Structure 1
Amino acid sequence: MTTKQPATLLIHPERAAPGGFRSLVPGTERASTVLFENIDKWKNRSGFDESIYTYGTSGTPTTRDLQNRLAEWEGGFATVLFPSGLAAVAYAFLPFVAPGDHVLIPANVYDPVKTLANGLLKRMDVTVEQYDPLVGAGIAAQIKPNTRLVWVETPGSITMEVSDLPAIAAAAHAAGALVAIDNTYSAGWYLRAFELGADISVHALTKYPAGHSDLVMGSITAKDEATWKRVKDMALQTGQCCAPDDVYLVLRGLPTMPLRIRHVERVTNEIAQWMQTRPEVKLVLHPALPGSPGHEIWKRDFTGSTGVFSFVLHDQYGADAAARFIEALEFFGIGASWGGIGSLALTYDLAKSRTHWPHKGALIRLNIGLEDERDLKADLERGFAAL
């Protein structure tokens, strides 16, 4: 069989859904009840058998199609879908921890992960400790005998530090801990997480895979069968599933994802480099730029960058100035998420959420969408004029 590149696999998958039907356009199968041919097949059904269908919550040809394409895309064993990216994040922890266990998360982690750590995981008597995202192999000093999982977010979704995934994975595996990565930034394309040591790859499919700012969904892809079964088992026990119509929209977005990412990569790099020339800007945090934290690791491990980056204004520009900047923009919306069709801008008060944040000027994060770069640059000029 001809070897296919990852972008081709999104259109021509190897793992066809059961039934033999093939098309460039995936179908949408809706079901709650699934009918069986006889009582014997009903009695011997299994939610872990991906070659059969048992009930709507355990999958339809539509959901299996997306799971198969995602697993192929990342080079993992199998994928489980979740109704949001945050649900997928939670289920990267929950099947693998018990009371008395210890997990590590980076200090630059997506804030809802900290909420999970201080909420549900704390109530479960799971200890969560933060580590410096640039610590690399030094994380071994924080790994304990009861450490079950190390969470990696690279680059960080606000301050953009790039972590040394292979070094972290080697230290974790030496102690018997699993490594889970939020690989949403690279869309599983520009960072091959399993090749670099991850056991679990989590995505907010809301972002680049769906790509059109019209749904929320998440996924977990596991490196091996044993890890996948633990995730799948808890998902089945708690009824985690996705609506086939939403799944279809992600399937529709996947074939164009590489083209969209290439566009935002080019435009983002151009704008980030232009930002470095602005007198109002103290620092640009973009992993592809020299001087950004972890840039050398990015050059080693990543094959490209996507559409999210941050910049820090000079010290005289505080929160009020950042608000003026953002509210003067026409094409950059004010809102969470990224990876969709439209550009977005937000500001963050890192003095409240990060220890030892060294900058007094406001930080602004941009998501670059699919607009013409000339319009985006002119819009940012309006923002700077408002300062």
Structure 2
Amino acid sequence: MGDDTRLVLAGRNTAETHGFVNVPPFRGSTVVYPDAESCLAGRNRFTYGRRGNPTMEALQLAWSELEGAAGTVICPSGASACSTALLSCLKTGDHLLMVDSTYRPTRALCNGLLARYGVETTYYDPMIGAGIEALIRPNTRAIYMESPGSQTFEVQDVPSIVAVAKKHGITTLIDNTWATALLFKPLDFGIDISINAATKYPSGHSDVLIGLVAANEKALPALQATHGDLGLYLGPDDVFLTLRGLRTMPLRLREQGANALAVARHLDQHPRIRRVLHPALPSCPGHEFFKRDFKGASSLFAIVLDATSDAQVIAFLDHLKLFGMGYSWGGFESLAVPFDCTAYRSATSFNLGGRAIRLNIGLETPADLIADLDAALAAMPKA
């Protein structure tokens, strides 16, 4: 069964919803038992609202099927999904290998909460591949990947890293938000835990905060226990909206990916652009791994402007008419935000060579977006 078909059918049972196509939002905390024997034995399908309801179950089943996972937990945000996944496989005294191009809130978690609880983090070069074996210690318990990397879009050699981890019995995790399981299936590559900020493509409409963590049979029990112990819960309306978005995610992701590649190729030839960081372009670090492992590209990439001052960057951003400025992505609308990772990258020295902008390409007509970008780039030298 193809993934498009899978996402139309997964998590749905019209016999249980009286023929209605969508599982409705089930709201409630208390679940009553039919009799004392069932209550004492805990035999209800659902026991308490925080532990699950039919709406949550539908999303978990659908996402697990897409990922090829033993199970999935739902978190109230992407950042919560990252922290829940890490907390499920680390304890005091453990050592974590974290990719240097990770999502910045994940870095904050490592340097803050995990450090306070006695977990030591070593950041590694995203292009390290099998060389990561030299960083492993006797107490290394987890290797965390993000591919492509946040902001700078390096694609990692995931199979080589996983092979080293399996040799040493180390749990592997990946933030797979950029690709989703439609474009890259982490568990098929031997990764134990796959993390997705479903705020982005699964919900798809910039109106939900949600995270999904899928795991294989080995990692699932600890993940579910940690999720329960943290008391995490997401309201049924947000779960319902994510389920609804999931049904059209393949169409949106394909269209946005094609739009983004058209814009990236245009900008790659533009005289006022020093560099385009898009995994599908040969100039992007790890492009060979992208071609080998991924089924396609999504909507997010970065550009480096041929700009020498903040005033020129501001002029570029302020002249954009079709791009909003906002710190999210994966929705139907195009976005642009400036970034500079040089201050906090620690294992690698990433010289951007100019002022960097991250672009999310939405569902607008690509020619319109290109014209808008060209006009904004033309305004830069006048600043």
When normalised by structure 2's length, the TM-score is 0.95
Q: Which residue of 1 aligns with 2:367?
A: 374
- 1:1-387 map, 5 Å: 4-13=1-10, 16=13, 19=16, 23-45=20-42, 52-224=45-217, 226-314=218-306, 316-354=307-345, 355-387=348-380
Contact 2:14 2:20 in 1 (8 A): no
Q: Name the SS of the counterpart of 1:386 in structure 2.
A: helix
Contact 1:11 1:24 in 2 (8 A): no
In the alignment, the residues of structure 1 paired with residue 82 and residue 88 of structure 2 have an alpha-carbon distance, to the nearest angstrom, of 11
Runs of 5+ consecutive residues of structure 2 not aligned to the other structure: none
Note the C-alpha offset of 1:18: 9.7
**Which segment is superposed worse, 64-73 or 330-339?**
330-339
In the alignment, the residues of structure 2 paired with residue 306 and residue 195 of structure 1 have an alpha-carbon distance, to the nearest angstrom, of 19
Contact 1:150 1:177 in 2 (8 A): yes
Deviation string 1:280-338 (CA, Å, 9 cap, x unpaired) is 11111100011210000000000100000011123x43443222211211111111111
Contact 2:193 2:216 in 1 (8 A): yes
Note the C-alpha offset of 1:26: 2.3
Note the C-alpha offset of 1:383: 1.4
Note the C-alpha offset of 1:21: 5.3
Q: Name the SS of the counterpart of 1:129 in structure 2.
A: strand
Q: Name the SS of the counterpart of 1:353 in structure 2.
A: coil
Deviation string 1:60-100 (CA, Å, 9 cap, x unpaired) is 10000000000001111110000111101001111211111
In the alignment, the residues of structure 1 paired with residue 29 and residue 366 of structure 2 have an alpha-carbon distance, to the nearest angstrom, of 45
Contact 1:109 1:157 in 2 (8 A): yes
Label 1:120 to 1:21 Cα distance change in 2 as closer, same or farther (>3 A).
farther
In the alignment, the residues of structure 2 paired with residue 313 and residue 105 of structure 1 have an alpha-carbon distance, to the nearest angstrom, of 29
In the alignment, the residues of structure 2 paired with residue 14 and residue 240 of structure 1 have an alpha-carbon distance, to the nearest angstrom, of 21
Q: Give the count of matched residue pairs.
A: 378
In the alignment, the residues of structure 2 paired with residue 297 and residue 232 of structure 1 have an alpha-carbon distance, to the nearest angstrom, of 32
Note the C-alpha offset of 1:44: 2.2
Note the C-alpha offset of 1:247: 0.5
In the alignment, the residues of structure 1 paired with residue 12 and residue 272 of structure 2 have an alpha-carbon distance, to the nearest angstrom, of 51
Note the C-alpha offset of 1:17: 9.4
Quote the sequence identity (%). Answer: 40
Runs of 5+ consecutive residues of structure 1 not aligned to the other structure: none
In the alignment, the residues of structure 2 paired with residue 68 and residue 363 of structure 1 have an alpha-carbon distance, to the nearest angstrom, of 39
Q: Name the SS of the counterpart of 1:380 in structure 2.
A: helix
Label 1:276 to 1:202 Cα distance change in 2 as closer, same or farther (>3 A).
same
RMSD across aligned positions (CA): 1.6
The one-letter code sitting in structure 2 at the alignment partner of 1:312 is V
Contact 1:318 1:361 in 2 (8 A): no
Contact 1:12 1:24 in 2 (8 A): no
